[in-house]
Chain A
C-alpha cells in the first residue's frame, strides 16, 4: 500500500495547552482510518492538521510525498478543493441548492462547465441510493439522505483523501450504520483514503484501522481487515 497522506511528528499548541504532542500517522490509498478519543484529546485537531486546515507548530504533513504544511493559504485552499473531500456532522450542504447542485458545486469551482458538472454529480446518486432526490433541497432530505449527498459531494472531485468529522454524529443508530457503510465502501471503491473522527466505536469498526488519541498522543493503533 503506497502512502497517500502522512503526518510526522505533528505538534500543535493552543497557548499552554498541547493539542498534538508529536503524532505520526500514515494513510494509504483505499485505506480507512478512524481517529477516536475522548473530548479534548486532540482528534479533531489531528484531522484538521492532516487536512491542511490547521498549520502545525511542528512536524510535517505530506501528500503523496510533498509537504503541504508550508503551503500558502491560497494553495492550501486549492489543495483542499481539488484533492480532499470533506464530510461533516451536519450543515455542510448549501440549503438553497438542490442536492445535485450541491454535489456539482466543487466541480464548478474547479472550472467544470455546469452541465458537465451536474452530469458527473448525478453519477453518484445511484451508488449512494439517492435516485429521485436530485432536485430536493437539504431541508427536504432526511438526515441520512443529507449525509449521503455530502458523501457524494466529497467524492465528486475524485479526491485522494476524504476527511470525515463525526459524519454520523447527528444520525440515529440505523441510519448511522447505513451511512458509514456507504461512506467506507464508496470511498474505498473510488480509490480514495478515508480519515474519520468519531466517538462511536461501532462506526469506527467499519474502518480498516483505529487510532486512539489521548492528550495529543497516539494511545493505541489497531488494525482490522475490513470486508
Chain B
C-alpha cells in the first residue's frame, strides 16, 4: 500500500462528518465487544483447564508399595451442601521424605492441619459442632493455610491433615470403592503428587466451557461482520466518487481496508484492554467450584494478539467485501447485481452432515469431545444451509404475498439470502442453543433423601453395634433423629445397598450438619455423608450445564439482538436512497418499516423453529449418550427463551426506525 493512499484515507476518515464518525465509533465499539466476548470465552476454557489441573494432586496416584513413601487418602464431606475435600497424608516410616504437596511448604506431620482460606473462614463462621469437629484439632493450636499453588479457586474448601500410617483415616477402610464415590473417596500409596486425574468438581468444567464457546463463536463472528458493514454505504459513496476520479480498484480496496482495519484494531485493542482491566472483576464471577484466581483468566499474550488480529481481520474483510460493487464499477452504487442465488449443493451438504451426525450418534456411546466436534460440524453445515432456506422462503413468500410490505420483504429475502441469513442467524443459532440446553437438564441421579445421614460400616453386625452409639452421640449433640439399620436390599437411602446405618434427622440444614459432625467418630476412615455425596456427579453435571446454558443463552440473545440491530441500521443506511425516494413518492413509512420487520420475522419464524427442534434433537442424542432421560419440563423454559429472544431481536430492529424516519425525511435525492 502506497503512502498517498494511507494519507488520503486518513484525511477522508477525519473529514467524514458527524455521521461518519458515529458509524466508525459504533463499529469500534462492536469490535471491542466482540474481542471482549471472545477473550472471555477463551479465558473460561483455558482457566477451567488450569483449575482442573490444580486439583489433580489431591487424587492419590498409586505407586508400587516398594516405591511408596507415603499414604494418601482423599475423602469428601459436605457442609451446607458444599463439598469439603479432605486430604489425609501419612509419611511411611523408613522411607525417603515425600515432597511437599502443592500449597504446603513441607509434607505435613502428624496432627498438622492445613485449611484453604475459604475453609478457615467457614470454620470460623460455623459452630464447631457443624464443621470444625469433623477434622482433628490442630496440634499446634492453629491451622496452617494451604497456599494458592494447592488450590483451584479462592472459594475451594480443602483440608490437608497429617496423620500416622496406622490412623484409620488412611487405612484400607478409607479406600471407598462404592459405585457412587465417583472419585470423592480414594486411597493409595504414593511417592509424589503428580496425579493426572482432576477432581470430580473440576473435571467437566473445561469441556462444558468449550461447548459454550462452540455455540457462541458464530454469533460473535456475525456481530463482528455487522461491525464491518457499518459505514459501508458512506464509504461506498465516497469511494465511488474516487473511482470516478480515477482511483484504481486496488487503491479503493486498500483505502477501505486501511480505514476498516484502523477502526477494527482500535476497537479490538480497546476490548482487549477492557478485558485486562476487568480481569479482577471477571474473576469474581463464579463457575463450578467458585470464583477464579485472576491469573487463571489471563489468556496470555499470544491468544490476546491472535484475537485482536482475528477481530480486526474479520471487520476488514467484511468491509472490503461490502465494497466489491464499487471496486468493480464506479457506478456500482447505483446498480444492483443480479440476485445472489444459492445453490442446491448447500442442501446436499447439510443433508450429508445431518446424516453423518445421526449415523455417528446411533447405537454408540460418544464422549463429550466427540459430541462437541459433531455439534461444531452440524453448526457449520447449518451455516451453509441457512441462506438456502432463506432464498427458498423468499421465493415462496414472494409468490403468495398479497400486501406490499410482504412482497418487499419476500423479494429482499430472495435477492440477498446470505445477508438476510446474517441478520437472523444469531437468534436462529441461539434457538438451537436454547433447544439443546433446555431439554438437556440431565436427571440421572438418585432421588433426594432429605434429612438422612448415612454412616458406612464394615458389615451389618457392625452397623447394629454402631446404631446404639450413634443414638447416644446424636442425643449428646442435641440432634433429634431416628437411627435405623436398613437392609442391604434397600436402595432408597443414601447407603444405596452398602452396610451401615441411617439417621433421619429432624430440623434444618444446621441439624443435619451437626449430625454429620456428631457421627464422625463412628467411622473408621470414612466420614458420614448426606445425599449430596452419592448425587455429586449428577449435581456437578446439572450445575455446569445449567450455568453454561444460562450464560450461553444470555450472551447469544444479547449478541443476536445487537447483530440484528446493527444489521438493520446498516441496511437502512445502505438503502437510504431507495427508501428516501420511495417516501418522496408517497410510500408510507409504516410499509417500509413493516417490510423491514417481515424481512427478519419471516426467516426467523421458520428457521428458529427449525433449529430449536434440531437443538432438542441434539440434546436427545446427548442425553442418550449419557444414558439419561430428557427433561421435558424444559419445554417451558425453551418457549420463554425463544419468546424473549424474538422480542429482543424485534426490539433491536425497531431501534433503527428513527434512523429510517430520519433518512427518509430528507427532501433531497442526495444519498448522504
Contact = CB atoms under 8 A, between A and B. Distances in A.
Interface of A: 48, 51, 53-54, 74, 77-82, 84-86, 88-92, 94-97, 101, 105-106, 108-109, 113-114, 137-140, 165, 170
Contact of B667 (A53, A79, A89): A53
Given A94-B408, A96-B415, A79 B586 contact: yes
29 contacts: A48-B667, A53-B584, A77-B586, A78-B586, A79-B586, A80-B584, A81-B586, A84-B585, A84-B586, A85-B585, A88-B581, A92-B578, A92-B585, A95-B578, A96-B412, A96-B415, A96-B416, A97-B407, A105-B407, A105-B587, A108-B403, A108-B404, A109-B586, A109-B587, A113-B402, A137-B338, A137-B415, A139-B336, A139-B337
Contacts of B584: 51, 53, 80, 86
B404 A109 contact: yes
A69 to B, nearest CB: 14
B669 interface: yes
A94 B336 CA distance: 9
B588 interface: yes
B336 A138 contact: yes
Contacts of B412: 96
B402 to A, nearest CB: 6
B334 interface: yes
Interface in B23-38: none
B401 A106 contact: no
A99 to B, nearest CB: 12
A94 B414 CA distance: 13
A185 to B, nearest CB: 22
Highest count of chain A CB atoms <10 Å: which of B404, B578, B586, B667: B586
Contacts of A85: 585
A54 B667 contact: yes
Contacts of B582: 92, 94
A44 to B, nearest CB: 8
A208 B207 CA distance: 80
B401 A114 contact: yes
Interface of B: 334-339, 401-404, 407-408, 411-412, 414-416, 577-578, 581-588, 591, 667, 669
Contacts of B403: 108
B669 A94 contact: no
B669 A80 contact: no
Contacts of B338: 137, 139-140
A118 B15 CA distance: 46
A81 to B, nearest CB: 3
Given A90-B334, A91-B577, 20 more contacts: A48-B667, A77-B587, A81-B587, A84-B586, A89-B669, A91-B581, A94-B408, A94-B411, A94-B578, A95-B415, A96-B412, A96-B416, A97-B408, A97-B411, A105-B587, A108-B404, A109-B587, A137-B339, A139-B335, A140-B338
A2 to B, nearest CB: 24
B409 to A, nearest CB: 10
Given A81-B585, A90-B334, A96 B667 contact: no
A86 B412 CA distance: 23
Highest count of chain A CB atoms <10 Å: which of B338, B404, B583: B404
Nearest to A89: B669
B411 A91 contact: no
Given A92-B585, A96-B339, A106-B585, A101 B407 contact: yes
B300 to A, nearest CB: 47
B581 A82 contact: no
Contacts of A101: 407, 411
What are the 5 closest A-B residue pairs judged by CB atoms, nearest first?
Answer: A81-B586, A95-B336, A96-B415, A80-B586, A139-B336
A106 B584 CA distance: 12
Contacts of B587: 77, 81, 105, 109
A124 B387 CA distance: 35
Nearest to B331: A170
A42 B583 CA distance: 22
A80 B337 contact: no
Given A91-B334, A95-B415, A97-B411, A114 B581 contact: no
Highest count of chain A CB atoms <10 Å: which of B411, B581, B585, B591: B585
B378 to A, nearest CB: 31
Highest count of chain B CB atoms <10 Å: which of A88, A95, A96, A101: A96
A81 B592 CA distance: 14
Given A54-B667, A140-B338, A96 B585 contact: no
Contacts of A51: 584
B667 A109 contact: no
A165 B669 contact: yes
A45 to B, nearest CB: 9
Contacts of A140: 338
A53 B412 CA distance: 27
A53 B667 CA distance: 6
A226 B582 CA distance: 31
B431 to A, nearest CB: 26
Contacts of B335: 139
Nearest to A97: B411
Contacts of A82: 586
Contacts of A48: 667
Contact of B404 (A74, A92, A105, A139): A105
A85 B584 CA distance: 10
Nearest to A94: B578
A140 B411 CA distance: 15
Contacts of A79: 586
Given A78-B586, A94-B411, A114 B591 contact: no
Nearest to A83: B586
A140 B338 CA distance: 7
B585 A86 contact: yes
A73 to B, nearest CB: 9
Contacts of A95: 336, 415, 578
A135 to B, nearest CB: 12
A101 B412 CA distance: 13
Contacts of A109: 404, 586-588, 591
A147 to B, nearest CB: 12
B328 to A, nearest CB: 12
A53 B584 CA distance: 7
Contacts of B581: 86, 88, 91-92
Given A95-B336, A109-B591, A114 B667 contact: no
Contacts of B416: 96
Contacts of A97: 407-408, 411
B336 A137 contact: yes
B408 A77 contact: no
Nearest to A79: B586
B88 to A, nearest CB: 73
A95 B667 CA distance: 21
Contacts of B588: 74, 77, 81, 109
A114 B336 CA distance: 24
A82 B86 CA distance: 84
Contacts of A54: 667
A178 B407 CA distance: 32
A140 B588 CA distance: 27
A165 B584 CA distance: 12
Contacts of A139: 335-338
A76 to B, nearest CB: 8
Contacts of A89: 669
Nearest to B412: A96
A138 B334 CA distance: 10
B207 to A, nearest CB: 45
B407 A114 contact: yes
Nearest to A96: B415
Nearest to B587: A109
A108 B591 CA distance: 11
Nearest to A154: B585
A51 B334 CA distance: 24
Contacts of B408: 94, 96-97
B530 to A, nearest CB: 65
A80 B585 contact: yes
